Amino acid sequence: MKIVIDIPDEMYDWYDNGFPDEDDAEKLWQIVKSGTPLPKGHGRIIDESQVTGTFTWDNGFIECFAPTIVEADKAESEE
């Protein structure tokens, strides 16, 4: 399962530096529990603010690129 969570930078740093106290570990656990599960078979997740592209008038072709944040869940989507 993949989930999306919104976590303060300070809490993320706890993974490297350790939890200040038990209450903080509980706060982090609650954030993870309230994350949004990605649905099975989801497509590629991109950062749309980073989309770049080109348009050619000759054939009306648009080519776009965006960096992938999370790869598509291909195994589930092919069933």
* CA-based R_g, the chain, Å: 19
Residues 8 and 20 grouped into a single domain = yes
| Rounded Cα distance, 1 and 43, in Å | 14
The total of structural domains in the chain comes to: 2
Residues 51 and 77 grouped into a single domain = yes
Domain holding 67, by residue range, is 41-79
Residues 31 and 50 grouped into a single domain = no
42 — pLDDT class (breaks 50, 70, 90): very high
| Rounded Cα distance, 57 and 77, in Å | 35
Please enumerate in sequence order all residues whose Cβ is within 8 A of that of 44, keeping only pairs 6 or more positions apart, or say none: 68, 70, 71, 72
| Rounded Cα distance, 30 and 68, in Å | 27
pLDDT at 16 over 90: no
Residues 47 and 22 grouped into a single domain = no
Reduced to 3 states (helix: H, G, I; strand: E, B; else coil), residue 47 is coil
Residues 6 and 30 grouped into a single domain = yes
Residues 50 and 29 grouped into a single domain = no
Which pTM was predicted? Answer: 0.57
